[in-house]
Structure 1
Amino acid sequence: MTSLDSYAITRKWPASHPDRIQLYSLPTPNGVKVSILLEELGLPYEAHRVSFDAQDQFTPEFLSISPNNKIPAILDPNGPDGKPLALFESGAILVYLASKTGQFLPADAGGRFETLQWLMFQMGGIGPMFGQLGFFHKFAGKDYEDKRPRDRYVAEARRLLGVLDQRLQGRDWVMGDTYTIADIAIFPWVRNLIGFYGAGELVEFTRYKNVARVLDAFVSRPAVVRGLTIPG
């Protein structure tokens, strides 16, 4: 394990425990994916709050490991071959941590790639589309008189929920009996859509009974309960 002192980000967020994974994040749908997985894995880590109010995400220190200025990011002091590894992009971090520990990602090639396809379904569909709906329903976009942009994302959110609901028919989780990083990626966004964004009625969420059932199971997991509030 190499010292983390050479990483500029540790000058803004010093590591009290440099032997642990360093998490730079906020409790947003993308941010909590990683804190939830870390809690599920029981890996020692240290969480640092990246304040959007203070525009921490644009500082040179944060950009040094997350050049797209998005949370979350991690710095693992014991990465591949025992060397530190910095990563940004929540999906990549989930795959890395699951691969590192051999948990929440099937070992067989078929199961692994099937899980990854549902992870990409969240990254390319659910996250961006639900986020746009949030903008047009809750934030500045709600003031637009023309509701066609909002309705475009309402229709797409409903379609995506329908795809997910069909997948979950007769299944406990996205991959069946096995809880994986696909669930950890998807359900914080579903929770945010009907909770923080307040768009449940707009997307007619009650129609998607399988999604609602699995969301309830997800938010009941102790590691999820903890991860949803990290960093505090």
Structure 2
Amino acid sequence: MLTSITANAEGGVLEQQLREAAASGDAARVRSLLDQGANRESRDKSGRTPLLLATHRNQVEAARVLIEAGADVNAKDNIDDSPYLYAGARGFNQILRLTLAAGADLKSTNRYGGTALIPAAERGHVENVRTLIEAGVEVNHLNRLHWTALMEAIVLSDGGPRHVQIVELLIKAGADVNIADKDGVTPLAHARQRGYTAMEKLLLAAGARP
């Protein structure tokens, strides 16, 4: 009866402590609180579970303890981020691999309708792109902007070595180099407009059309 309405909405004292321990990366404390019966799927006001909070700060060991205890790697918060999607988008490869081993939903999408591969490609996270391709994420998935991972690696990049490598990885994985954006502009046309000659060569070698 003494527990506040807010605490009830977010679990209880143990759950609040679990979320704090997860966010701070105190893996031993996380394990202790779970042993005491703290709900591993409790959520804060933003809908974030302890595992998502640990993922936000790339707290690998805390995330590992939670995942080994059965925490849901696909549990989404109020803005459709899950531990799997967030780790994929932010370049947190260790946690990404943990989520994949624990049954991450490769078809799950973020609030933009994109798979984990699309923001990973956009942000130049080479290892995450490689990991997600190897896991089997669909390389030609279109988000709500009608952009693929390949398109984002061109349009939203600086054309530097990391993004060139990502374009190469995507092409080798079967990316369709001729899927245009919603205005009909192709990946090759975008690369040429930006002067990304290395990307242009890769696209042409793969059969890209203007």
* TM-score normalised to structure 1 length: 0.26
For the pair shown, which has the larger CA radius of gyration, 1 or 2? 2
More strand per residue = 1
Answer 1 or 2: higher relative contact order, Cα 8 Å, separation at least 6. Answer: 1
